[in-house]
Structure 1
């Protein structure tokens, strides 16, 4: 039987959109010194901080006693990668590699969306969503991290081994891609994916430890982080300044954080909410009975959303993670996360207005800055609640029917006659 093929028109449209938007993002990078674009603050992290770490890593050691080095050892490989491109400055090589990873990810989404029962909406969301953050995605290594999580999800449908290995590589770079494995169907797919993730993670960590000293130095720096000004807790404290709270904002640990009375209590509350979120995800995993083709994608997006909104830190680049996972969800016609993706894109617009366009208002705690962050974080919170609620409902068997044992066929996005379920 002949399979339907996606016409070349939509693929060409996505390709044209990618070329146009990436050219615009590159233009913004060349003009990043403009005051409206942050006065160079967006690109400074690459040519100053990343390049400094590159120099340390090039001498065979991870940064030690550096409060800004708060990342797993896999991040060192990303920081070192621009050195592989001769004839370019570190900044130029970093941007070029980021663009290459972006193009690879877009191609993977197009390929996934071109299969029978799939669609190209995911590729369109990734291609059109990143420019909502202006040139920020090209000046952070979160595109590389998100790409590993996205490729893990897309690969796991056909090969749990590859999905597990890619998820582990992502976790070694920035931890959260491990959540991409949360929704793997029960039974053999989960055992295979997690076993390969553990094996790949241990092997890569051992390799890094063999070539670089102090691979776990980042652990001692994580505990000192406070409440970033853009987090939910930071927004609440900024609003409290208008009610007489005597605290203020201060640059520390690589971010603008709130300092003053009760900040530790707010940080502790954030950690407690993160623990509650983890408990909810475990409860979902235990009680889920209905496993559709999009369940692994939806679970990953829901998990990352919950961990993001309860975090003490919601940096602007976190939005890249959410765009990427939403894009993977939208490659499937059976995803439950379509309205969630719309909320994420709206939050991206507000995030860009907050940083870099009006960041001085946010830092200053003005009413406009507070209301802007309240709106952005409100959208993210609504997205997280809606995402988990829809994931929970979608993973319950239809009313009046017992949960069957059929698993999604590898690489397929077509539902069988009966609801798909975990064994």
Structure 2
């Protein structure tokens, strides 16, 4: 089994490397330009001891500087090739963690196979963004949650300082040690990086005037409206291609409202959930990040890397209820490769083909999110608590095993 997984990994990752190295061309914009131009430009600024204070495309927490600087530590390779090499190492690390976990009691190697099959469906974008590095940290955190909550929390805190979303890994973690470790790690990193380099918090001001990104759920409103005389524009704004014009602030506000609403739902779920298994932290993290992604005013292609990694962790647990939502994400990943980069020009132009692919991708994400919510709720909230019944003590998977199903 392990030999077959390694062989499949080698074959599919060779294809990914051929794409990012441009041996095999891919239709559409050059997805590696983020590494060759943007990341390398940030690297040159960061190595001088300051954050990119005047670059509005720098929209990441302070520890993102560590990811951007890391290719400079790879000997004998230029920045771009070193970045791709590190992406491959992180990819292999995720596979190794999933294979190791899959051989333990109550676990499964299906998570490893999901990861092997899923990442190439995103195309070269998978290796051309630093999200793969963040996902590797998130996978390690979730797999450590059951036996080493302190380590899991520290990794979640570190991940949050890399790209914010890993803080959602704590959604289904009940151990106080994990939350404390996350807080201490995040605060320590923030303190050290803020004290050592000016501009660590500049990214907080670069999000306020963003529009609605053309690949987001809300963007579908404007893709259709353009065919009925809407007078707005599609422009490169704050590092992404966005809609700007009439009603865009309204749609962006609705997206933010939906994000707030789903976080409210997560809070209600935590208050009522009483039946936790070993798979619950992974299931909850996957659901939370899926909700965050789907309701965001920006659904960049690399966000699918997060979802693939978390879904793979869920599938590593035999008791996980996220197999069907994970398969929907897998299908959405393949459609994402079509809409970016292959038919991105059609998406930007609101061409019917581009809009149809985008609508199908976003529809799959919405379906996956709703199904994940339902399965998380019904799997952890007893019937007596689903409509506000009296609270009962939370029970772990070990507790349930002692009293029967």
* Shorter-normalised TM range: over 0.9
Task: Compute the displacement of 1:26 (Å).
Answer: 0.7
2:46 matches 1:57: yes
Equivalent residue number for residue 305 of structure 2:
320
Equivalent residue number for residue 280 of structure 2:
295
The 4+ residue runs of structure 1 with deviation greater than 4 A are 402-406
TM-score (norm 2): 0.95
Q: Structure 1: how far apart are the matches of 2:27 and 2:162?
A: 28
Q: Give yes or no for contact 2:215–2:358 (8 Å, CA) kept in 1.
A: yes
Which digits, 9 at most, give the CA deviation of each residue in 1:6-47, with x for residues without a partner? xxxx1111111111111111111222783x4324x2000001
Q: Structure 2: how far apart are the matches of 1:27 and 1:178?
A: 34
Equivalent residue number for residue 345 of structure 2:
360
| Count of residues in Structure 1 that have an aligned counterpart in Structure 2 | 400
Which digits, 9 at most, give the CA deviation of each residue in 1:223-274, with x for residues without a partner? 1221000001112211111122222311111111001210000000000000
Equivalent residue number for residue 153 of structure 1:
142
Unaligned runs of at least 5 residues, structure 1: 1-9
Q: Give yes or no for contact 1:228–1:314 (8 Å, CA) kept in 2.
A: yes
Find the partner of 1:167 among 156, 160, 168: 156
2:61 matches 1:76: no
Q: Structure 1: how far apart are the matches of 2:132 and 2:19?
A: 17
Q: Structure 1: how far apart are the matches of 2:400 and 2:98?
A: 20
Q: Structure 2: how far apart are the matches of 1:277 and 1:266?
A: 17
Equivalent residue number for residue 247 of structure 1:
232
Q: Structure 1: how far apart are the matches of 2:214 and 2:240?
A: 8
Q: Structure 1: how far apart are the matches of 2:247 and 2:111?
A: 42
Task: Compute the displacement of 1:86 (Å).
Answer: 2.2
Q: Which stretch shows the higher mean deviation, 379-388 or 236-245?
A: 236-245
Which digits, 9 at most, give the CA deviation of each residue in 1:364-392, with x for residues without a partner? 01111111111110000111111111100
Where do residues 199-278 of structure 1 align in structure 2 (5 Å cutoff)?
A: 199-278=184-263
Secondary structure in structure 2 of the residue aligned to 1:218: helix
Structure 1 pair 79–168 and aligned structure 2 pair: CA distance change class (3 A): same
Q: Give yes or no for contact 2:217–2:362 (8 Å, CA) kept in 1.
A: yes
2:101 matches 1:112: yes
2:24 matches 1:37: no
2:35 matches 1:12: no
2:19 matches 1:28: yes
Equivalent residue number for residue 142 of structure 1:
131
Structure 1 pair 67–242 and aligned structure 2 pair: CA distance change class (3 A): same
Q: Give yes or no for contact 1:32–1:38 (8 Å, CA) kept in 2.
A: no
2:380 matches 1:395: yes
Equivalent residue number for residue 307 of structure 1:
292
Q: Structure 1: how far apart are the matches of 2:17 and 2:324?
A: 30
2:359 matches 1:374: yes
